[in-house]
Amino acid sequence: GESVGLHLPTLSVQEGDNSIINCAYSNSASDYFIWYKQESGKGPQFIIDIRSNMDKRQGQRVTVLLNKTVKHLSLQIAATQPGDSAVYFCAENGYGAGGGAVGLTFGKGTHLIIQP
């Protein structure tokens, strides 16, 4: 199975409300996590990242929370706007035999739908 996954395939929220998108990971050795936003027909766009030595990190209207005890990651989007409509992926950094980062392991994604 997938080592990084999301709980809900679709999340519908009212414009102006806060959105919370969840993600579970299974590799306890993972130490770097990233949230990407993918709009229709485009490549993933970096939103925010967090290292395993942190529990919380804030950006502009976005907050990522990391709970290593239960291997859970969440993305909070404040005051959701129509432009936030997209698929959101969490990803964790993978490592090669030499110890260097060699790619990302993605979950299936959550489709965030903004209702007016």
Partner 1 sequence: NAGVTQTPKFRILKIGQSMTLQCTQDMNHNYMYWYRQDPGMGLKLIYYSVGAGITDKGEVPNGYNVSRSTTEDFPLRLELAAPSQTSVYFCASSSASGTYETQYFGPGTRLLVL
Give the C-alpha separation, 37 to 109, whole Å.
Answer: 9
Shortest Å, Cβ 104 to partner 1: 6
Is residue 45 at the binding interface for partner 1, with CB under 8 A as the rule? yes
Report strand pairing: 86-95 vs 32-38: antiparallel
CB atoms inside a 10 Å sphere around CB 57: 15
Q: Which of 12, 16, 18, 46: binder of partner 1 (CB under 8 A)? A: 46
The answer to whether residues 21 and 88 touch, using CB atoms and an 8 Å cutoff, is yes
Is residue 30 at the binding interface for partner 1, with CB under 8 A as the rule? no
In the bound state with partner 1, the residue whose beta carbon lies nearer, of 16 and 51, is 51
CB atoms inside a 10 Å sphere around CB 91: 23
The interface mask with partner 1, positions 60-79, x = CB under 8 A, is --------------------
Is residue 54 at the binding interface for partner 1, with CB under 8 A as the rule? no
In the bound state with partner 1, the residue whose beta carbon lies nearer, of 2 and 17, is 2
> Which three-class secondary structure state does DSSP give residue 49?
strand
Closest CA to 13 of 111, 113, 86: 113
Residues at the interface with partner 1 (CB under 8 A): 2, 4, 9, 31-32, 34, 36, 41-46, 49, 51, 89, 91, 93-96, 99-109
